[in-house]
Structure 1
Amino acid sequence: MSAGRRIAAEALGTALLLAVVIGSGIMGERHAGGNVAIALMGNTLATGAALVVLIGVLGPLSGAHFNPAVSLVFALRRELSPAMAGGYVLAQTAGAVAGVLLAHAMFGEALWQVSAKLRDAPGQALSEAVATFGLLLTILGALRFRPGFVPAAVGLYITAAYWFTASTSFANPAVTLARCLSDTFAGIAPSSAPAFIAAQLAGALAAWALAGWLFAPEAEAASA
């Protein structure tokens, strides 16, 4: 697969993912009558469903990372070259911003915004570490034992993580940065983003370290 097609798949997939995240948040808030739980449910179901489809369709092209934390772990596993990982991260970030702008355009919102939604509680940063840790374990475990289940596994995990974490599971540095540009239901204030991103990277690295031991073929052979 050519590098250009792989990078294009990452940009496209991340753009569509952010269009879903922001767009479903706007739609949910507009039609929930002030009920935040209903708005969040709409946001959750749309995001989880979209992930299954996007990973299933674009995974054969690029691996469907759509997430710098995922690309970092695959680079550390030497399954992605540093140069390609850098290309992925740039494509993911640009695609995420494009997806936010697309969602704003579809719903008649101002294209360029800055979120005022503070997410500064310590528990929210912890939640991002937990959410990203779980996401990477889900991906690496499914790849190890049930590769065909990866799209559904990721979609189901994120659907659950929206509700069991205090942060609603961003679990993605590119998503976090892009959501700073949307003063809507799914936004995050720029001042809250650094703690989220640091926690996401910490969670991803912890999952990489554990998965290297937990899912190693040697462990399976030793227990036989």
Structure 2
Amino acid sequence: MIRIKAAHGPTGETEVLLGEDPMSQATISIVSVGKLATRASPYQRILVPTDGSELSTFAVDQAIALAAATGAAIVFVTVNEPFHLFTTSTEMIEASREEYERRQETHADRILEQAGTAASEAGVAFITVRRWSDDPFREIIRVAEERCCELIAMASHGRRGLSAMMLGSVTNKVLAHSTLPVLVLRKLVNVSKAPVYLAEELSGDSGRRID
């Protein structure tokens, strides 16, 4: 079941909807339909942000299942925070700029490799993109536009707390500012506590990279 909300960028209407915190209350996936979503044809490219966390990995798996079922390709993107001399981040305090950036690049490459492997095993075409930015939501939207994506798929568990604030903040900002459709994937559970998936993963040809 999918809930549709109109999203036209940072307008008053959208901010009111986001202020109601729909993800913390929803028990279904949410699709925010942007101004550019005017075609009835299936999505051909789906942008999927990932940081290697359990929730973003869930979104990766769901997006792969959706892409396998519809024939879409996926653009995986991970956004790293740039090095700052004055910071409270332990990772930056305990390392030089060069060491910090090398570690972040290695970590990002590993995350993207894992996502690409999963896509390849499902026969889904994909590319990977690594970026640096203090505003992940802006970079996510920018990459989606640069790579001609027609859908952004992101995760949210719809719960409150610190982890929800961190994930929900980026997702809400993408919802507020993107003119592309945004699919918010929530990890639902049934009475047996087993995950409920958006789409059944289908078999296909070996994964292939796209330009």
Question: Per the shorter chain, which TM-score range?
Answer: 0.3 to 0.5
Structure possessing the higher relative contact order (Cα contacts under 8 Å, 6 or more residues apart): 2
TM-score normalised by structure 1 residue count: 0.31
TM-score normalised by structure 2 residue count: 0.33
The structure whose residues are more often strand, as a share, is 2
The structure whose residues are more often helix, as a share, is 1
